[in-house]
Amino acid sequence: MTDLKTAKKRLGALKEELNGLSSLSADSRDPVELDQQSVGRLSRMDAMQQQAMSNATEQKRKNDLIRIEAAERRLRDGDYGNCDECGEEIPDGRLAIDPMAEMCVGCAR
């Protein structure tokens, strides 16, 4: 049986970490200057690639925050730790690896 208090703490810590990382990386998602006088063509292309990777990472963070909020909702509703598909209990080992898991391994396949 899942320890709900521990799950709530872990989800809260994950949420704080993701929000902190998002704040730290905000500058790397800013638009890239296209002034060729200040930056060469290859440097500008590299900066644009870095920006794209930062944007993709930020999108993953946002998706994880949505999953955390859904897990917190399941905690409040008393459904945390139960598979959304089959209703069976999700093993504690799976929740230890991914506290946001919505499905058991069998249904997730």
Q: Is residue 45 part of a domain?
A: yes
Q: Is residue 44 part of a domain?
A: yes
Range of the domain at 71: 4-29+40-108
Residue 34: per-residue pLDDT: 61
Please spell the DSSP secondary structure of 32-88, one letter per residue: PP--TTTS-HHHHHHHHHHHHHHHHHHHHHHHHHHHHHHHHHHHHHT-TTB-TTT-P
CATH number of the domain where residue 52 is located: 1.20.120.910
- The rounded distance, in Å, linking the Cα atoms of 17 and 14 is 5
Q: Is residue 10 part of a domain?
A: yes
Residue 28: per-residue pLDDT: 76
- Give the three-class secondary structure for 89: strand
pLDDT in single tens digits along all 109 residues of the chain: 568 899 999 999 999 999 999 988 888 777 766 665 555 666 777 878 888 999 999 999 999 999 999 999 999 999 999 999 999 999 999 999 999 999 999 998 8
Q: Is residue 84 part of a domain?
A: yes
Residue 45: per-residue pLDDT: 78
Q: Is residue 96 part of a domain?
A: yes
Number of alpha carbons in the 13 Å side-chain half-sphere of residue 49: 6
Residue 46: per-residue pLDDT: 81
Residue 9: per-residue pLDDT: 93
- The rounded distance, in Å, linking the Cα atoms of 65 and 23 is 14
Residue 12: per-residue pLDDT: 94
Q: Is residue 49 part of a domain?
A: yes
Counting the structural domains of the chain, the total is 1
Q: Is residue 34 part of a domain?
A: no
Q: Is residue 35 part of a domain?
A: no
- The model carries a pTM of 0.78
